[in-house]
Amino acid sequence: MDSSTWLNQKSIVIIGGTTGLGLSAARAFVAQGAKVVVVGRNAESGQNALQLLGEANAIALQGDATLPETAEEAINQCLRAFGSFDGLYHVAGGSGRKYGDGPLHELTLEGWQKTFDLNLTSLMLSNQAAVRQFLKQGTSGTILNMGSVLGYSPSPKYFVTHAYAATKSAIIGFTKSIAAYYAAHNIRINVLAPALVETPMSQRASGDEAIMNFVKTKQPLDGGRNGLPTDLDGAAVYFMSDYSKFTTGQILSVDGGWSVSEGQF
């Protein structure tokens, strides 16, 4: 397989694909020969994404990932425009801090429920829509879910949102469970787990000097730094490509060393 066309003739839906990690992956997928449907909540970001990706290679849709029709419509658009549906990358999610997520003794019920809707319900709905379509087609397929190192490697001083951690841990259990069930159908489902990456969601941490000094020792690779969206692109391409056809139910951490480093305050 030519490494410049790992995704040739693949059609991929990216939920949360108009900014940050999702948009970076979309650009990498297109560069590797794929057609993409990117979904985001903001119409303006969708148009910006379309300009970067090219109208011949992409469709940008506005939608709320917590609604069941959003992923269904994206997959239908993918089929209509590109003639196939081969993979789903679920990136959409976010912090529930502004709704009341935080340490358990301060966590509000709204913060808990909103964080679960953003990160887990949305992912369940997109995975469900993708699996239903793969079964309907009678084809293999691949799903990649966005996790986080906070789902299994907590950091109690600076990153203390317990509902968020619960959702990211649940994504691992959910993915492994459905990966096991659908393996016989040749549908593979995996998780990508980053640490702190430069995205709109990470602005609070990125603007805090104390947190950034900690991150230098917690993510010591490449001089100690925040991750970049492009740091995850190679792994995402792998999971969307036929090179991963014998891989399912796995969690790949792309974390700069977070999960094997103490971090110094």
Q: What's the whole-number mean pLDDT along residues 213-234?
A: 97
Is 39 inside any structural domain?
A: yes
Between 2 and 141, residue with greater pLDDT: 141
Report, as an integer, the average pLDDT of 18-38. Answer: 98
Indicate whether 188 belongs to any domain. yes
Q: Is residue 32 part of a domain?
A: yes
Residue-range definition of the domain harbouring residue 29: 3-255
Give the single-character DSSP code of 253.
E
- Any domain includes 21: yes
8 Å CB contact between 91 and 29: no
Tell me, yes or no, whether 265 lies in a domain.
no
CA angle 126, 258, 94 (to 5 degrees): 30
Distance spanning both ends of the chain, measured CA to CA:
46
Q: pLDDT band at 4, cuts 50/70/90? A: low
pLDDT, average across residues 151-178: 97
What are the pLDDT digits (tens) for 105-136?
999 999 999 999 999 999 999 999 999 999 99
pLDDT at 1 (0 to 100): 45
- Residue 263 domain-assigned (yes or no): no
Q: Which contiguous run of DSSP H or E holds residue 144? A: strand 141-146
CATH number, residue 185: 3.40.50.720
Residue 264 within a domain? no
The C-alpha atoms of residue 92 and residue 87 are separated, in whole angstroms, by 15
Average pLDDT, the chain: 96
Give the number of domains in the chain.
1
Task: Estimate to the nearest angstrom the gap between the alpha carbon of 37 and the chain centroid.
Answer: 14
Residue 56, C-beta contacts closer than 8 angstroms, at least 6 positions apart: none
Strand partners, 90: 15, 145
Task: Please compute the mean of the pLDDT values over residues 179-201 and round it to a whole number.
Answer: 95
Q: Distance between CA 49 and CA 40 in Å, rounded? A: 10
Alpha helices in 149-208 (DSSP H): 162-182, 203-206
Say if residues 88 and 15 touch (Cβ distance below 8 Å).
Answer: yes
| Total residue length of the chain | 265
In the predicted model, what is the mean pLDDT of residues 59-75?
A: 98
Distance from C-alpha of 261 to C-alpha of 205, rounded to nearest angstrom: 18
pLDDT of residue 2: 52
Q: Confirm whether 66 is domain-assigned.
A: yes
